[in-house]
Chains A and B, each alone.
Chain A
Amino acid sequence: MTAHEFNKHIVPLGDKLFRLAMSLLHDRDGAQDVVQDIMESMWRRRDALSTVVSVEAYVMRSMRNLCLDRLRVARQREEHLHSVAHLTNTSVGAESGFDIKELVERYVSELPEQQRTILHLRDVEGYEFDDIGAILSMESSAVRVALSRARRQIRNKIQNALDYDRAH
């Protein structure tokens, strides 16, 4: 893969990679770092990329794996959940008019990692089920089931929070 082809096929994925990293790491600086790392890594492996069937799926899968590695090392997710839970616990309760955006973010971040990634790839990036399956090495039917579970879970939690807010 030449520099021109790399610029044409890989570099434009930067925003998607950044958003995926953000959804997994919840850290803007960390997301920037992993995008930079993945770009350099892909550049070093550019010869191997020529033999990959779906370059985009390969790059997205590599990004997910890199983010999961970072999470395992830094345990940033736990810290994030802890901080968001603290914020939400103080807002959902006696006070009305809580921040619904923070609430949605919290519920999304509480999903299992796989469901969260599927939800992101489908609802934010607009991938087809087959493409998500290629990225996550899953059958598209399994992707559909996991996505359905994630959406229903988010719906129920938001509805419960809104009902609670209205009742108080």
Chain B
Amino acid sequence: MIERTENIETIETLLELYCNGESTLEQERTLEEYFCSADKVPARLEWARALFEHNAQQRAAECPNVVIDQSVVTRYALGRRMIRRMALAITSVAAIVTVGVYVWTELRRPYALINGERVYDVAQVVEVTTTHLASLENIMPKVEKGFQSVREAGTSTSAAWEIITKHQITNLLNK
């Protein structure tokens, strides 16, 4: 603290340090306190009063609270966290739905078992089926004829199957 009247020399010494960039923060606070509270200063020091008053005025400016709301950051963080959780939940649900739809579609997809394997190609199934039906058409008259002979001989259906089987085995053995 500088006494008002007797220390103008001290003030001027500090001002010289100040202008040389050699004063400490404490000395600069002393200068500001002096010039901001002095009723009258020598004319040669008016420049310093103007400058230190300007500095003090600048320091008094505060950022409006509306800009730096203490809760803004927290709200922002909470908002970000909620968005992250919602995104995670939405992604999880979307993944589950996608997998479910795929499995459901696969299970519902029509297929035919050919020689123990699933065949989804309709054209292939039609082709195989047509071939087999043609084969059946070739042998069905013979089968029917055989059954007719059996019925005429007065044999039961099961006995007829037995005769046919034995006949086929005999043919195979002969081959």
Contacts and interface: CB of A to CB of B under 8 A. Distances in A.
Given A39-B68, A105-B54, A19 B59 contact: yes
A101 B50 contact: yes
Contacts of A40: 76
Interface in A112-138: 120, 122-126, 128
Interface in B47-73: 47-48, 50-51, 53-55, 57-59, 61-64, 67-68, 70, 72-73
Interface stretch (B20-28, B116-124, B140-148, B149-157): B20-28
Interface string A92-109: 000000001101110010
A43 B70 contact: no
Contact of A126 (B25, B50, B64, B74): B25
A15 B20 CA distance: 28
A148 B58 contact: no
B67 A35 contact: yes
Given A7-B70, A101-B54, A104-B50, A43 B76 contact: yes
A159 B59 CA distance: 23
B61 A22 contact: yes
Given A101-B50, A155-B19, A162-B47, A11 B70 contact: yes
B63 A35 contact: yes
Interface in A3-19: 3, 6-7, 11, 14-15, 17-19
Interface string A54-73: 00000000000000000000
Contacts, number: 96
Nearest to A141: B21
B47 A158 contact: yes
B50 to A, nearest CB: 5
A32 B67 contact: yes
Contacts of B53: 101
A25 interface: no
Secondary structure at the B interface, as helix, strand, loop or mixed, is: helix
A162 B25 CA distance: 27
B77 interface: yes
A11 B21 contact: no
Contact of B51 (A11, A17, A154): A154
22 contacts: A7-B74, A11-B70, A14-B68, A17-B63, A22-B58, A22-B61, A23-B58, A39-B73, A40-B76, A43-B76, A43-B77, A100-B50, A104-B54, A108-B54, A123-B55, A124-B59, A144-B21, A151-B21, A155-B19, A155-B47, A158-B46, A158-B47
Given A162-B46, A162-B47, 9 more contacts: A19-B58, A39-B72, A40-B76, A101-B54, A122-B28, A123-B55, A147-B21, A148-B20, A155-B48
- Top 10 A-B residue pairs of the complex, sorted by shortest distance between their CB atoms: A18-B63, A148-B21, A14-B68, A158-B47, A144-B21, A3-B77, A104-B54, A147-B21, A14-B63, A123-B55
